[in-house]
């Protein structure tokens, strides 16, 4: 006999996601890309924001080209965008990957002679190529571009990737020159170099298509984009319990906070299992109607304790916002803006 499960109650965590901010960010980056078009990196579940949320918003904004890292990320994206506008950055590692690409119509990004052979031996078709110009990560060497395996590819987008676009580094200009050299060595329809920060380096770095990621979702990778990029994501948590502390009582694991005076505190159901790591202990803040609610003591796996001294109206079941503006949060925790987004855990409904 099948027993019907009761309706699942709503989660006590949620991500406040601003579609208007995401739209505005993509359009700003597209405008800054000049004569090039902006695509969108939507790998890692759209940097933790949720591909089912982000992809339709970005497509409606005008985005036509989308990039994921893993083959496992393709299926969710194909619910929202045409297959021939999807590129898989890691490329094929086996014949199974190639078969999947051919069956779905998505484009592999060819990163090595081995991958080029896999693609050719299966009959190939349109693909992208990554050339390494100095990051020494994925990509063909410039010398590999003359190989008949590579010359025989039907290359849509010729990629390279900047190592230090967020810094004033001589490597940027060197990589740009090598990328331009590659453009003269391998026939292709379009070329792409700039990530989010690379867009701000100017027209020489834009090619035909830029590939923003972090800045789409509220990150500010370089000072030139400050004031242009809007916050997209705010983690929110419900208050599980409100407590009254007496002066001298301690809070949380290892008693790292002692109440100096009688205090009203709250326990929220957010912890390091959700990506709100222990580095927020004693330094993070939540807010309610603009009022700051400092984190007290250690963040634990599923709970964080906050000071409610300025918010006497809050009760159990009420919601509070985590301070999560990415530039400020990165400075406060030592985490990168990328980590802050992609760490947000599965217990946040998307």
Catalytic residue set = 43, 253
Tokens at 302, concatenated? 């599923």
Q: Are 51 and 42 in contact (CB under 8 A)?
A: yes
Burial of 299 (0-12, 13-18, 19+ CB in 10 A): buried
Instruction: Round to whole Å and give the CA distance between 291 and 293.
Output: 6
Give the residue carrying structure tokens 């967020």: 166
Instruction: Round to whole Å and give the CA distance between 167 and 153.
Output: 34
Which residue from 305, 303, 301, 310 is spatially nearest to 265, judged by alpha carbons? 305
Please count the helices (runs of H) and the strands (runs of E) in the chain. Answer: 11, 18
Phi/psi for 266 (5° steps) reads -130, 150
Tokens at 208, concatenated? 């035909």
Write the DSSP string, 63-111. Answer: ---EEESSGGGHHHHHTTS-GGGEEETT--SSHHHHHHHHHHTPEEEE-
Instruction: Round to whole Å and give the CA distance between 50 and 100.
Output: 23
Q: Are 222 and 307 in contact (CB under 8 A)?
A: no
Write the DSSP string, 191-203. Answer: EE---HHHHTT-G
Instruction: Round to whole Å and give the CA distance between 94 and 92.
Output: 6
């Amino acid at each position: 006999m099948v027993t019907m499960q009761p309706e699942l109650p709503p989660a006590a965590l949620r991500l406040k996601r601003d579609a208007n901010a995401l739209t505005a960010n993509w359009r700003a980056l597209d405008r800054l890309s000049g004569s090039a078009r902006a695509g969108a990196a939507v790998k890692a579940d759209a940097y933790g924001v949720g591909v089912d949320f982000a992809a339709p918003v970005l497509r409606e904004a005008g985005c036509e080209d989308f990039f994921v890292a893993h083959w496992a990320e393709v299926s969710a994206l194909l619910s929202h965008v045409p297959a021939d506008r999807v590129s898989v950055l890691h490329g094929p590692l086996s014949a199974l990957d190639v078969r999947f690409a051919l069956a779905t119509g998505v484009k592999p990004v060819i990163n090595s002679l081995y991958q080029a052979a896999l693609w050719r031996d299966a009959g190939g078709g349109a693909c992208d190529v990554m050339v390494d110009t100095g990051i020494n990560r994925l990509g063909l060497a410039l010398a590999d571009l003359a190989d008949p395996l590579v010359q025989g590819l039907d290359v849509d987008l010729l990629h390279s990737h900047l190592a230090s676009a967020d810094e004033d580094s001589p490597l940027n200009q060197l990589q740009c020159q090598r990328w331009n050299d590659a453009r003269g060595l391998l026939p292709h329809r379009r070329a792409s170099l700039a990530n989010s920060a690379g867009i701000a380096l100017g027209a020489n770095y834009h090619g035909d298509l830029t590939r923003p990621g972090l800045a789409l979702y509220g990150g500010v990778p370089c000072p030139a984009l400050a004031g242009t990029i809007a916050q997209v994501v705010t983690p929110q948590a419900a208050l599980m319990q409100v407590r009254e502390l007496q002066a001298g009582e301690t809070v949380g694991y290892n008693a790292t906070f002692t109440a100096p005076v009688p205090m009203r505190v709250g326990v929220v159901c957010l912890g390091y299992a959700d990506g709100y790591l222990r580095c927020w202990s004693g330094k993070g803040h939540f807010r309610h109607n603009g009022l700051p609610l400092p984190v007290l003591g250690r963040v634990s796996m599923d709970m964080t304790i906050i000071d409610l001294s300025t918010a006497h109206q809050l009760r159990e079941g009420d919601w509070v916002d985590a301070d999560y503006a990415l530039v400020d949060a990165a400075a406060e925790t030592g985490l990168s803006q990328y980590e802050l987004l992609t760490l947000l855990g599965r217990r946040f409904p998307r």
